[in-house]
Amino acid sequence: MKHTYTIIIAAALLLLAPCHVACNGEEDLIPRVDPENVYGDPTLPQGDHDYDAFILDFFRKYNTLMLYKYDPQDIYWNITNNSFIPVVRDSVGNVAVAGYVDTPADENYVGEQIELIREKFLAHYPDDFLREMLPKKIFLLRSFVEVSKTNVATDRAPAAGIDYLLFQWGGEEIRSIAPAQVNDFKSKASEVFLRRLVASGKIQRDPAFLSITNYGTPGSGNAARLENGFITPSAITEAADWDAYLYAIVYTPYDTLVKPRGSLSATDFVNRRGVLTPEYDVSGKIRQKYWAMVDYFKDAFNVDLQAIGNDREP
């Protein structure tokens, strides 16, 4: 009887042994060699270029895919809500329905495109912020344009969707990009990124900023609205006012914001020259709101908004 029990126990141990090794012994795990399927269809790496290693590391660090190969329908989302609608042409090529055209990146230039994104966008944000705030996908395109019914194309990148950012300059044009184009890319990339975070609820508008202006009675005429703290007299809702300040900061060096000016002009409203001077900001509310926004992003997110505006190619 004793021998019978011994045989039964030995057999049971043999059956359990493989489970013990597989479940607890990491040395027996087989590493995956095929590209991993993440977020559905896309897989990484998408190719064997030098920059594919960076893209894979970027995903591991931030849980965000950089995709230079993509399905266009992932860009043209939520059409019923007037989002990015693809252009429709008739049989002879005329524009039947105005909309957007995406041109995929040329893989020969994606590495340089990524460097532009790293230096002029990602470098302005701390890692913790990027890990929490970056969307699931970043599409790398050569261009993204809106085409009118008269067949006029207007550049609309960088752009933001529900779960993605979209960047252009993935083509030979990046070799001859002008300083002004670099500056515009830098500012617009942060503008669409930060506006997307507010629209999605990941960032709230600062109550201290909003408390300075009376939005119920904005004032009649430019002078009254400037006195009420509107940096742009036509942007008089909470959302529009917040966006106007954000735009002014990330597009404009501080030296320009405080530069003395003469009389008000439409051009000055656009380039924001002198908007932080007593001459423009008679009541002081614009300067209060400027510092409220700058301090909010520094204190809450460790993001220096004005550093984005100051970062300009000569």
Chain segment 135-156, per-residue pLDDT in tens: 999 999 999 999 998 989 999 9
Residue 87 — very low, low, confident or very high, per pLDDT cuts 50/70/90? confident
Match 């993935």 to its residue by tokens. Answer: 170
Amino acid at 166: L
Question: Any bridge partners for residue 84, and if so which?
Answer: none
Strands 164-167 and 88-89: unpaired
What is the reported pLDDT for 89?
81
**DSSP state, 189?**
H
Highest mean pLDDT among 12-26, 90-104, 205-219, 260-274: 205-219
Q: Residue 2: pLDDT above 60?
A: no
**Cα 273-279-281 angle, rounded to 5 deg:** 80
Q: What rounded mean pLDDT belongs to the chain?
A: 86
Q: Residue 42: pLDDT above 80?
A: no
Name, in order, each residue with C-beta under 8 angstroms of 55's C-beta and a sequence gap of 6 or more: 44, 45, 46, 65, 66, 114
Residue 84 — very low, low, confident or very high, per pLDDT cuts 50/70/90? confident
Question: Where on the phi/psi map is residue 73: left (φ > 0), alpha (ψ -120 to 50), or beta?
Answer: alpha
What is the reported pLDDT for 10?
43
Long-range contacts of 38-41, Cβ-Cβ distance < 8 Å, separation of 24 or more: 38/65, 39/65, 39/136, 39/137, 41/71
What is the reported pLDDT for 22?
44
Q: Which of 43-47, 62-66, 73-77, 269-273 is predicted with the least confidence, judged by mean pLDDT?
A: 269-273
Residue 91 — very low, low, confident or very high, per pLDDT cuts 50/70/90? confident
What is the reported pLDDT for 95?
82
Highest mean pLDDT among 7-11, 25-29, 207-211, 278-282: 207-211
Q: d(Cα 301, Cα 287) in Å, to the nearest integer?
A: 21
Determine the 3-state secondary structure of 236 from DSSP: coil
Mean pLDDT of 253-279: 77
Q: Residue 231: pLDDT above 90?
A: yes
Mean pLDDT of 180-204: 97
Map out the domains of the chain as residue ranges.
Answer: 50-177, 207-310
What is the reported pLDDT for 78?
55
Q: Residue 191: pLDDT above 70?
A: yes
Q: Residue 18: pLDDT above 50?
A: no
Q: Which of 1-5, 59-63, 200-204, 207-211 is predicted with the least confidence, judged by mean pLDDT?
A: 1-5
Residue 104 — very low, low, confident or very high, per pLDDT cuts 50/70/90? very high
